[in-house]
A and B are shown apart, each in its own frame.
Chain A
Amino acid sequence: MRFSWTRALIVARREFLTTVKRKAFLFTLIAVPLYFGGIMTLASRGEMSGRRDSMRAFTRLGVVDSSGLYADATREITSRLAVDPTGAPGRLETYRTAVVFYPDQARLERALRSGEIAQGLTISADYLATGATRRYARSTGAFNSSSAVRPIERWLARNLLAGLADSLRIERATRTGGGMDLYTLGKDDRFEIKDDRREMLEFMVPFMVAILLGVCIMTGGQYLLQGVSEEKESRILESLLCTLSPEELLAGKLVGLGGVGFALVAVWIGAGAVLSAPMLAMAKLPLSPALLALAVAYFVLGYLFFASIMTGIGAVTNNMREAQQFSMMFSFANLLPIIVLTQILARPDGPLAVALSLFPFTAATGMMLRLGAPSSTVPAWQIAVSLALLAVSGWLVLRGAARVFRIGLLMTGKPPNLPEIWRWVRAGR
């Protein structure tokens, strides 16, 4: 039978246009980035504002000095906090905390209870030998209780050394690690300064690509699953299959709905690039053409692989609910590398990361994460093997799916079991 690309492209165009015109698509297009962007903004702003609130409230520190070492200590703590949530050097906010001494623990606790002081500090009698202190607060937030620790530690160090060393030495003693840069072996075998912030930004590009790739593949696959299920459920297929072959229908759906997934991610990436352009420009991050080419290759092959599976599932099940139950485990497999992200980042060339980047179900997202990991050097042969495995398995799954699609489309009732599906794959029609 002759395959007609004309008919397949008519199907592709219809699938694409029908899907992108749906309200659900527009909702996904706009709401998903807004949702995740909102969550990330809230999380970073929330953390920052928690620390600032905590420092603003730290106006008075009550001290009980049993050691006698701090009788002449300064009665004010000055501390500075960076305002930029990324930690970039920039504007600093200054906070001043008055230090109030109490003769005993009971009075300090009373002052803390009445709100006279924000926190309390008791310095043990054997402080010089043991360094033992206790800090008291009425309550703290889960993650911002440590905001006041560093200013108190510096106050303790400065006043302990006061009179024993000049102010410069005292300052160095309180910030010993301030100028200690770390140099690590880079990808070109030269030691380079380790810039955590830049590293984070450099990682973000392939990380976001991996996430978008995973989302894109799954979105296209889900649209395909939904489309096949809907057509099967609403009994359109039989009249349609009189007009075009199942292979033409399948090819059209793959192209059209793959285009939907691609368009979705292209818009997200485009919008993301425009919005984050100043940050990327400031960091002078090069967007590697090789990385982009690999991302496209993994998208095409990964989509082909997963979409074929989804098509087969759509064809053998009776409705969307059944189809989603079957498809869930495959969706999970695609996103598995993101779930084990920390293990991949910790050992990007370890067995788990390598296996995930080669196994077709996880290769697309797994390899992109490995490529982005700061200390990773992925050998070219592994990329080649990964792409080859994905391409070959994608082709095999596509062929099998086409056969299952052909037979399953017109079947209703109990979904077939695995041996039956295997028989369909081996048979034709």
Chain B
Amino acid sequence: MLEVRDIVKTFDDRAVVNRVSFEVRPGEIFALLGPNGAGKTTLIRMITDILKPDSGEIVLDGSRVGADSRRQIAYLPEERGLYRRVSPIDVLVYYGELKGLSAHAARSAGLALLERMELAEWATKQVQTLSKGMQQKVQFCTVLIGEPRLLILDEPFTGLDPLNTQLFEEILAERRAAGSTVLLSTHQMNKVEELCDRALMINRGHMVLYGSVREFRRQYADHAVILRCDRRPDTVAGVRGIEPLDGDWKLMLELSASPQAVLGALVSSGLSIESFAIASLPLEDVFVRVVREGLGLDHGRSGPAFPGEPASGGAR
């Protein structure tokens, strides 16, 4: 669907995006993560063809992004606004026409979207008379109109109440089912855990994590398993420590030990096991650790860093 290949963007001799490559697969909700100033917005602006990369290429469905890809991509920026003295339906007709719909089709699509967003009765009121949340829903509609194949959403849930957050999530699910792909940039890590299959994290313009969200969480969880059982487990082969954890037990494994082997040893020890799960760190903790410790930045190249990977210097 979207392939970003080794792109670099420099401002005033400073590489804001440095040799970043990733792929977003058709129909997935892909997270773009990173601390403030990491280069996410610049990266998004290159994907939307607002900025040109200094080198590298961005390919959407086999073609380089450019004028022809505009109808396929829609972008909800973090800092967003609307024309204040026009009605929501007029805004949507305008965006719809810019995306290639006829005026009639844009009006029909706009009204349907406003209906879906529970804003039908506000369709002809001036935008400035709408509440902030309502305006955010209209902005979301501007992204959805024309049924673009790639939705790029930067902090779409900020400022929304739980009901509207749920509404946005439902609509995203609908769009995903209809074949749209979503690139989600957010600092709400719970939303990433909930919605996204894979993610890319950049820091200071470099890729520092890329892959499955579930994998990140496991890899940064100190190679441990969480056990619920009838008594304190015995120390078995491959276990280097045991800690109580909210009524369960957290077993720290040796680097060479596999969870399957440890499970087998525990069963053999006669322990009655209710549940056994590979420990995973909340994504927020992964984010904090990667950024705070500068993981992935000391490779002399841009690329994901994983626990256990030999470092050229500094603690990991």
Contacts and interface: CB of A to CB of B under 8 A. Distances in A.
Interface string B72-93: 0111110111111110000000
A7 interface: yes
B294 interface: no
A28 interface: no
Given A2-B67, A239-B142, A234 B51 contact: no
A241 B45 CA distance: 9
A88 interface: no
Contact of A245 (B67, B75, B86, B99): B67
Contacts of B73: 242
A239 B97 contact: no
A1 B75 contact: no
Nearest to A233: B81
B83 A234 contact: yes
B81 A236 contact: yes
B83 A243 contact: no
Given A238-B77, A239-B80, A244-B98, A2 B68 contact: yes
A242 B74 contact: yes
Contact of B70 (A11, A18, A242): A242
B66 A1 contact: yes
A244 B146 CA distance: 14
Contacts of A244: 70, 98
A175 interface: no
A22 interface: yes
B2 to A, nearest CB: 14
B50 A10 contact: no
Nearest to A249: B98
Given A2-B68, A239-B143, A242-B48, A18 B79 contact: no
B19 interface: no
B139 A239 contact: yes
Contacts of B83: 18, 231, 234, 236
A243 B70 contact: yes
Nearest to B74: A242
Interface string A1-40: 1111001001100100010001000000000000000000
Contacts of A242: 48-50, 70, 73-75, 152
A428 B82 CA distance: 28
B137 interface: no
Contact of B51 (A4, A10, A18, A429): A429
Given A10-B98, A243-B98, A238 B75 contact: yes
Nearest to A245: B67
Contacts of B139: 239
A429 B238 CA distance: 56
A410 B84 contact: no
Contacts of A234: 81-84
Query: Interface centre among B81, B82, B84, by most A CB within 10 Å?
Result: B81
Contact of A243 (B68, B95, B152): B95
B52 interface: yes
A366 B143 CA distance: 48
A428 B74 CA distance: 24
Contact of A7 (B50, B82, B98, B152): B98
A122 B34 CA distance: 98
A235 interface: yes
A4 B152 CA distance: 23
Nearest to A406: B50
A14 B84 contact: no
A239 B75 contact: yes
B82 A241 contact: no
B94 interface: yes
A14 B67 contact: no
Contacts of A429: 51-52
Given A7-B98, A10-B98, A243-B95, 18 more contacts: A2-B67, A10-B94, A10-B97, A18-B85, A18-B86, A234-B84, A236-B80, A238-B75, A239-B75, A239-B77, A239-B80, A241-B48, A241-B50, A242-B70, A243-B98, A244-B98, A245-B67, A410-B45
16 contacts: A2-B66, A4-B67, A11-B98, A18-B85, A234-B84, A235-B81, A238-B77, A239-B75, A239-B77, A239-B142, A242-B152, A243-B99, A245-B70, A410-B45, A428-B52, A429-B52
